[in-house]
Structure 1
C-alpha cells in the first residue's frame, strides 16, 4: 500500500530508527511512533481550532469514520499537513541528535509502553511551533504567510467548496 511504502521510505531517512518498524499509533511501541503520535496530537489541536474558526463541524468528515467523539473532519484536514509539519520535524530532530535514548522512558503500562520525557516534549513542541511559524508562499494569502495560517486557509478552501463557492478542493503542496 502507499502508506506502507511511505513509512518504509520514512524509516530510511531516520538517522537513528530507535526500533521503528512502521507506523503503529496505539499504543506507540517505540520512540519514533511516540514522537509522531505526540506531534499529531499537536497538529490535531491546531487543525481543530482552524475548523472551528471557519465554522465547520469538526465531527462531520469525509474520509475518517464518523464516530461519537471523533473529530473526523479535523482528522481529514490533518492528512495534508502530517508530512510537512510533524514528520518533517521528527526527522529533523532525530537527524540533529536532539532525540536520544534518554529522551524516552519505558513504562510498565501496556497502554503506554514508551513515554517522552518532559524535556523531549518541550523540544518537540518548540520545533513544531518553529515550523508552524515559518513563512512560505500560499496563493490565497497573496504571498508568504505562516504555515499556521495556511492550515486556516486550507480549511477555508474546503468551506468554499462545501458552500458551493469553489469548484474543487486544492490541497496544500509544499514547494
Structure 2
C-alpha cells in the first residue's frame, strides 16, 4: 500500500506545484522542517486541521491515538491523522493555493531563521491570516448525506468520525469516505 501511496503522493504534489502561479521554492511536500513558505503554510494548516479532527474523534468517544493507517507511536494521534487524510485536499490544500495565488500572503509574510529545525516561520500577520481563513473554511457549508443536506465542514468532520465509529461497532458494513461532488 505504501508504494501506491508514495506514487499517488508524488503525482499529487507535482500537480499542486503546477497550480502555483509563482515560484515560491516549493519542489515537493516536506513537512519537517518545512524548507519554503508553501510547505510552512501547509504544515501549519495541517496542524490546525489535526486539532479539529482530534477534537471530533474525542467527541465521538474514540481514542485518537489508536489508528490503523498511521503507525501507532507514543504521543502520536494516529487515528486523528488517519481521519484527517480525507480533509487535507478539501480544507487545507486549496486554502493555501488561494492565499498564495491570490496574493494574500507574500514573501514578507515569512522569516528565515538560523535554526535548522525551523528554517522558515510564518510572521504573526501570516499566522493570523491563515487561522482566519481556515476558520472561515470550516464554517463553509457543503452537502453531506448524513446531515440531510448542507452543513458546515466542522460538522462534516464529526459526521465522518461517527461513520467510522459505526463501522467499529459493527453497525455499518463499510466506511464511506467524504466525497466532494462537482456539478
- Distance in 1, matches of 2:179 and 2:109, equals 32
> How far has the Cα of 1:16 moved from its partner?
2.1
- Distance in 2, matches of 1:5 and 1:65, equals 23
The answer for unaligned runs of 5 or more in structure 1 is none
- Distance in 1, matches of 2:130 and 2:85, equals 19
Kept in 2, the 8 Å contact 1:17–1:32? The answer is no
> How far has the Cα of 1:170 moved from its partner?
0.3
Other structure's SS at 1:115 match: strand
The answer for unaligned runs of 5 or more in structure 2 is 1-6
| CA deviation map 1:78-105 (0-9, x unaligned) | 0000010000100010111011100100
Residue 51 (structure 2) aligns with? 45
Residue 60 (structure 1) aligns with? 66
Among 142, 158, 163, which residue is 1:157 paired with?
Answer: 163
CA RMSD of aligned residues (A): 0.6
Over 4 Å off, 4+ runs: none
Per the normalisation by structure 2, the TM-score is 0.95
Per the normalisation by structure 1, the TM-score is 0.99
- Distance in 2, matches of 1:15 and 1:133, equals 27
* Alignment coverage as a number of residue pairs: 175
Among 15, 18, 27, which residue is 1:12 paired with?
Answer: 18
